[in-house]
Structure 1
Amino acid sequence: MTRGARRLLGSVRGSWCEATVAELDRSREWLLAGYHARGARHARRWFRWQTQRLAGLIDPDPDTPWLPELARVPVGSAGRSDAAAALRRWADDVHEHARLTRAASEGSLYVFTVTDDSLRYTLSHRPLHSVPCPSAVASVTSVPRA
């Protein structure tokens, strides 16, 4: 990113993390959770919590009292993808943690996506830029007069 572009965007003031679920054809998407992280450590902690929370909702413990008997279908059987297992693995995946930390330090986008038979679960991290002072924008965008 050029110095002029940085001045236009302003400085990074934390990041926005969100969890969404969408139909595979992307006809509908729902925001499940959002979080303003102050730094990479906070973003990583939120991601760890959200991956575990989503995994528990997708594939709850079989002894969960509210779970109807008919809903107790083994995940990952009969060619089904196991989105819950992929979400649970994120908590211990040091490679993914490093990718998130690198994206946070560079001020770039990080996306982690898993799918099952009908839905796409996405967790994302993007930098939040402060609003630049109008005079700074004018000095970058103005054309010098000859």
Structure 2
Amino acid sequence: MTTVHDGYWCETVARSPEAEGEWILGGYRASTPRLALRWMRSQARRLAGALDPLPDRGPFPPGSLRQVGPHGPNPGRIFREWAADLRFQEVQLAALVTGRHISVNAGGPDHVWGRCDADVYYSLSCRPIALDFLTDWRLVEPQQAHA
């Protein structure tokens, strides 16, 4: 049996076991590994902008944001750093080409639906869409039943 990749499925997911929720934030079917990584980079930037907005940019008034300590959880920073790390993405590209799954994950405390404080984990992932088929097909003449 031979496995062929018929594209790559990418998705962005937020999960919170404490809040008993899983939310799909986006999905994309890429035709090549390079397009899959391009989509993941754009999603990483989107998550970074939402989770860790840069000061004096975006919808927040100046002075309304505060700096997170270097050792505190900061999922936005993780996604921003990954989006800029093109060398590591080449390693992940090679993994995709060989049929392996790749992901970028980060998490930290958040306030979920105004209801509870809970840990929320964000994941960008991509996996090959595999098509398995037999490669040792032999043509066989149909046998006729004799009466």
TM-score range, shorter chain: 0.7 to 0.9
Change (3 A) 1:26 1:38: farther
Give 1:109's aligned residue: 101
**Which of 43, 48, 51 does residue 50 from structure 1 map onto?**
43
Change (3 A) 1:30 1:40: same
Q: Does 1:119 align with 2:120?
A: yes
Q: Distance in 1 between matches of 2:6 and 2:88?
A: 22
Q: Distance in 2 between matches of 1:92 and 1:101?
A: 15
**Which of 80, 90, 95 does residue 82 from structure 2 map onto?**
90
Q: CA RMSD in A?
A: 2.8
Q: Distance in 1 between matches of 2:15 and 2:70?
A: 23
Q: CA deviation at 1:76?
A: 1.9
1:45 maps to amino acid: R
**Structure 2 counterparts to residues 65-80 of structure 1, below 5 A:** 66-67=59-60, 72-77=64-69, 80=72
How many residues of Structure 1 are paired with residues of Structure 2 in the alignment?
Answer: 127
Change (3 A) 1:24 1:99: farther
**2:84 aligned counterpart, secondary structure:** coil
1:67 maps to amino acid: F
Structure 2 gaps, min length 5: 110-118, 138-147
**Identity percentage over the alignment?**
28
The TM-score normalised by the length of structure 2 is 0.72
Q: Distance in 1 between matches of 2:105 and 2:70?
A: 22
Structure 1 gaps, min length 5: 140-146
Q: Deviations over 1:39-71 (max 9, x none)?
A: 12101111111111110011224435643789x
Q: Deviations over 1:61-111 (max 9, x none)?
A: 4435643789x3424239531111111111221343023212211111111
Q: Which structure: greater helix fraction?
A: 1
Q: Which structure: greater strand fraction?
A: 2
Structure index of larger Rg? 2
2:9 maps to amino acid: W
